[in-house]
Structures are given as C-alpha cells and as structure tokens.
Structure 1
C-alpha cells in the first residue's frame, strides 16, 4: 500500500507527512533556541544545522507536493460538514505554501547576508546562494520575513493538529487514523 486510494493514504504519503511535520516543528524549535544562545560557537553550529535541515525540509516538501499531484487524495468522510469540506483544501494549500516559503525565505536570508557564510548541508556539499543582492537592508528584510513566516506556518500547524484531534476525539471519524497507517482506516465510530 504505497499509493493512496479514495479512502486511505498510502505509506509514501504517511511517511512524508510525519517526516515533514517533525522537521517543520523541529526547525521552529531549533530556530527559537539558536537565536537565544549566549555562546557564539554553539549558536553558529546550531544555525548551520538549522540550514541543513531547512534544505532537507525544502526537498522533502517538493517531493511531497509531487507525490500529492500524482496520487489520489482520500475523500473526507460523509459526516464532514460542508463548511469544513470547503475549508480543508484551503488550509492544506496554505500548509504546503508555508512549508515551501519558510525554507525558501531562509535560503534567501543566507544568500543576502553580508557575512556571506556558505551553506554546507550536513557538511556534504556547498549549496549555492540564490542570485540576490547582498546588503544589510536585504538581510534585515529577510530576517523579519523568515521569522514571521515561520510563526504563521507554526500557527497553521497548530490549527491542523487541533482539527485532526477534533476529528478523532469529538467527531470520531477516520480522518486522523488514516494518516497513521493504511490499515487503521476503518469505518467511522459513532459518538456514544
């Protein structure tokens, strides 16, 4: 069960979903920690790690979007109300957009930095900078943009998590469990 069906997610979508979720949330936490370090050496090392995971996240998100475009998406259960049925695709689109623009804005930030420190993901290769003008003003802009895009992205993630928990514990449908395993997608449970 690698591919999705009309009722279940396949293993590829499930693994990419949880891997990207862990990376996105982990990157947010790492970003908060790295800018508050008093040791410049530790801060520098954490920033390099943050950049490495950012490039990994960007690659996985592109892979996930490609996989999503080439696969069916399971339909929402019949019990889902019309308003949520219309809102869900918009929220998913915004989540994908956030998962793209946050790492891209980070890449832009390191590309315009006056420090001109190369990005070497996981010490494997030098990632070229984006062709952007290096300046203090550009760096200030991208620091601000990257920070607030990350906050907006994590707010969407929290909304997504709350919606999934609502489906599981309140509505008692299969929306959450089918993203855990293709074998867990079962008939909806009726509230007692």
Structure 2
C-alpha cells in the first residue's frame, strides 16, 4: 500500500498488470495476502493522465490460484473492450483513505501477526521474525539469525507458506550477496 503527498485522501492498494481477453477484463495485482480481504470490494479509484482520481465500479472479480500465485481478474463497468483495458495498463488502483480502514486493519493484523514466527528454509530453522518492514511493493521480513539479521521479501517466490506459527521459505539462495 502506498500513501504519499501526491495521493491526498487516497491510498494505493494495487495496480493494473495487463488486459486479459477481448471483453475488457484486466489482470490486477492487489497488495493483499488473503484474497478474502477484497472480496467485497465494489468501488476503487483510478487516475487519468492529468492525475485526477475517478471512480471505477467493479462489476466482476475472480481469483485464480496457480503455482502459489494468486491472480485477480477484474471487470470495470466503464471498460468494454481490449482497447479500453490496454489504456489502463500499469495504472494504480486506489481506495479513499476513510473507506480503507477495514482493508488497512486486515493488512496490519497480518503483518503484525508474523512477528515471533520461526522461519525455515527447506525444513532447516534459520531464525525468528523480529520485525515486518513496510515497503510499497510488499512487506519485508527482518529475520534474526545466528549470524546477524536477514531480510526476506514477503512474496510467494520466497515465502512458500505460513502455518502453525512458522514461515516456510524457498529460493532463499537467490538472496545471497544482495
């Protein structure tokens, strides 16, 4: 989620990735860890080329899970074809701050609940989460290890699953030397 001086009264909760199909459907990224957090979302805001916010009503949203990735496919009421959908590529998706409280509370609870979780890499304990750093793209886990602290992006590529108070990671060798 992104809140800054350029978006007064609004908070960014995602962005449009690309068009999908010919009927104006969009593949969208939402900054959530649980799809249920946005299942009731009906109205979001987009920005035009001048930077003005305008409402976009969601008429249909479906969630698809493949290979530990969650994809959101959204249909807006004012987009009826691929050309209109392509015009929204890479545009931010916003909520009004006063209407985003439930969304923000669910996100904060998820992030706070990760502190004190044991972190594993292939069944080997590597440390304990001591903090969750806010980052506009995704949360970052600060993990205390025997050799110092380690930063792990909280995304599907690195975090395989969270269960029983533990976080199971994968691909951590890719973070070596960064």
- TM-based fold match above 0.5: no
TM-score normalised to the size of structure 1? 0.29
Q: Normalising by structure 2, report the TM-score.
A: 0.31
Higher helix share: 1
Select the structure that is richer in strand: 2
